[in-house]
Amino acid sequence: MASLDKRLSSTRREVEERRSARPIDQLERAVSQLKPIRPFTESIAGEEISFVQRVKTADRSLLELAEEVDVSGLAAALDPLGALAGETSLPVLLTDMIVDPYQLYECRLAGAGGVVLIAAAFDGDDGRLEDLYGVASSVDLDVIVEVADEDEIEWVLEVLDPDSFLVRNRDSEESGVVDFERTYSLLEEVPAGKVVLSQGGVREREQVTQLERAGVDAVILGPWAAAGDLAETLRHLRGEAR
């Protein structure tokens, strides 16, 4: 997986290319005509832990199955997002890295109900983080802030005090090692009452149970779950008898 700096650089370049083809004022006008959208996190703030499925394409059969087995939401990149929103009633979370307000208008037009802002991408820049958070809120997008350590949690709480957090179970993008003990330690720093999503390495019922006890509201499952028997995978993770 590319380093954070490389992802930031490539994302900024791609955004500028799209901006040159379609100015942001066109997007702003189009978004202003949209009706309010259901907040993404509204679907996962229940009494039991929820499951969000990452998808790569607008596969109609998969989307229908996701609704049938009570998946709470979908997570997808911008490319398939528009097609997804037209094929399902499930709320969709944008998985692309956000670096520019332009992307927020894009994903709102594509039908997303929420976005993830990665705290590490702002390198302590309060102003940029606040600006993007404000724009997202102004276009009815739920904002979930991804945090990787205690310092980031403290900083984000001071700057934004957001309602929702994402904690990845992998210790870094470079190694990709799943470390749930690290996750549990971070969760202790998140104030009660916040919506918390967990992503990475969750494949067993015991892991789900422990995450739920630690305060996690939803788990984002990777494409591997959709590539197999999604219904059986969810029964296993929910601890349901066959």
Report residue 45's pLDDT band, with 50, 70 and 90 as the boundaries.
confident
Domain that holds residue 34: 4-238
| The dihedral formed by the CA atoms of 190, 195, 200 and 204, expressed in degrees to the nearest 10 | 100
Report residue 173's pLDDT band, with 50, 70 and 90 as the boundaries.
low
Q: Which two tokens stand for residue 129?
A: 């983080």
| Mean pLDDT, range 22-51, rounded to an integer | 92
The model's pLDDT over 8-21, given as tens digits with 9 standing for 90+, comes to 999 999 999 999 99
Q: Which two tokens stand for residue 207?
A: 């892991």
Q: How is 121-179 classified by DSSP, letter by letter? A: GGTT-HHHHHHHHHHHHHTT-EEEEEE-SHHHHHHHHHHT--SEEEEESBS-TTT--B-
What are phi and psi for residue 45, nearest 5 degrees? -95, 50
The model's pLDDT over 83-112, given as tens digits with 9 standing for 90+, comes to 888 889 899 999 999 999 999 999 999 999
Kindly report the CATH number assigned to the domain that includes residue 80: 3.20.20.70
What residue has token string 């996701």? 66
- Per-residue model confidence (pLDDT) at position 175: 63
Cα distance between residue 95 and residue 84, in whole Å:
13
Query: What percent of the chain lies above the pLDDT cut of 70?
Result: 96
Total of domains in the chain: 1
The model's pTM is 0.93
| Mean pLDDT, range 51-77, rounded to an integer | 94
Decide if pLDDT at 171 tops 80.
no
